[in-house]
Chains A and B, each alone.
Chain A
């Protein structure tokens, strides 16, 4: 009888140990799966795209105010598009990087 009790206790402890180990293993798996997700978060931010989409206007109602507001909104959208290349134009003529490189191109301590 005592031997049976011992066997039961031993097998219970063994099962508990197996269960706990399996739990730890599952935690480890969870840890490893989070790593790539974090890596995904570190992706470089995409370059913001200029506001080139036409402003969504509500369906025509036939109301005077809605009609004129929709036309004005469209005009604003065209205006935003027309001036959206300012930064590109600036960078096209900016030579500060090159001229900085030029002045740093030669280290007199090399001699």
Chain B
């Protein structure tokens, strides 16, 4: 009885187990396929999101770069205008300063003439005045020449800088937009979003490094400006030093003639 029961149980288990084993395998396969499909869907969705984002950002980025280009142009124009105003103001102030100097010098000459008593003193005062006028003329010509050379060089430097900055902005914009277009195209052909982003980011990094290097090249103009400023200063200092030397010589000569004068 018990043997029959065990045998019956065994056969029943077999009957149940055979179709059961087949179902489990199919279920596993179906589950696996389902999971794969879901994974593929998630990847595709993520790709779509990234691609959509890239497309949106490309438009925003294009607008941003155009805005920046316009800002550059405005800023450049402002700087040029400011410099032109400042240069004109400085020229006007220098003229006023020279006119004041001339008025002061003429007053000094008159006072000196009034003190000259002897013929020798009168003649030496006249000679002194001629010498001073000539020295002032020489100094002012040298100063004006240095200023004109400086201003022309600044104008050239401004134009050079504008060209360099325009080139820098333009090449940066072109390169960055190209990176975005490549990313968009890669997305369109269904490349993996991670790969698309990695390519884009490394391209951007390379672009930033290049922009940094180009920027340093543009900024070399600051050293050029320092040199121009120094050159002008040296020229004007020399004119001033030469003028002072002439004045000191004139002082010695005048003092010889006015040596007996207590108001020396």
Residues of A within 8 A of B (CB): 52, 54, 57, 60-68, 70-72, 74-79, 81-86, 88-103, 105-106, 108, 110-111
A85-B90, A95-B161 in contact; A67/B97 too (CB < 8 A)?
Answer: no
Please give the distance in Å from A31's CB to the nearest CB on chain B: 44
Q: What CA separation (Å) do A70 and B100 show in the bound complex?
A: 12
* B143 pairs with A78, CB closer than 8 A: yes
Residue positions of B touching A, CB distance < 8 A: 50, 53-54, 57, 61, 64-65, 68, 71-72, 75, 79-80, 82-83, 86-87, 90, 93-94, 96-98, 100-101, 104-105, 107-112, 114-115, 132, 136, 139-140, 143, 146-147, 150, 154, 157-158, 161, 164-165, 168-169, 172, 176, 197, 200-201, 204-205, 208, 211-212, 215, 218-219, 221-222, 225-226, 228-229, 232-233, 236-237, 239-240, 243-244, 247-248, 250-251, 254-255, 258, 263-264
Question: Can you sample 28 A-B contacts with CB below 8 Å?
Answer: A54-B97, A62-B114, A62-B115, A67-B111, A70-B104, A79-B143, A79-B239, A81-B94, A81-B97, A82-B143, A82-B236, A83-B233, A86-B232, A89-B83, A90-B222, A90-B226, A90-B229, A92-B80, A92-B154, A93-B154, A93-B225, A94-B225, A95-B161, A98-B72, A99-B168, A99-B219, A106-B64, A108-B200
A residues near B226, Cβ cutoff 8 Å: 90
Q: Is the CB of A93 within 8 A of B108?
A: no
Q: Is the CB of A98 within 8 A of B104?
A: no
Q: Is the interface of A mostly helix, strand, loop or mixed?
A: helix
A57:B104 contact, CB within 8 angstroms: yes
Contact A89 B219, CB 8 Å, known A64-B251, A98-B72, A105-B65: no
Q: Which residues of chain B are near A63, meaning CB under 8 Å? A: 115, 263-264
Partner of B86, one of A85, A102, A103, A106: A85
Quick check: B208 and A60 within 8 Å, CB to CB?
Answer: no
Contacts known (A98-B165, A101-B68); A93 close to B93, Cβ less than 8 A? no
Partner of A75, one of B101, B147, B150, B161: B101
A97 to B110 alpha-carbon distance, docked (Å)? 55
Q: How far is the CA of A67 from the CA of B168 in the complex (A)?
A: 57
Bound CA–CA A93/B232 (angstroms): 17
Partner of A81, one of B90, B218, B229, B232: B90
Asked if B72 contacts A93 (CB within 8 A), the reply is: no
Q: Report whether B221 and A103 are in contact in the complex, using a CB–CB cutoff of 8 Å.
A: no
Q: How far is the CB of B187 from chain A (nearest CB, A)?
A: 12
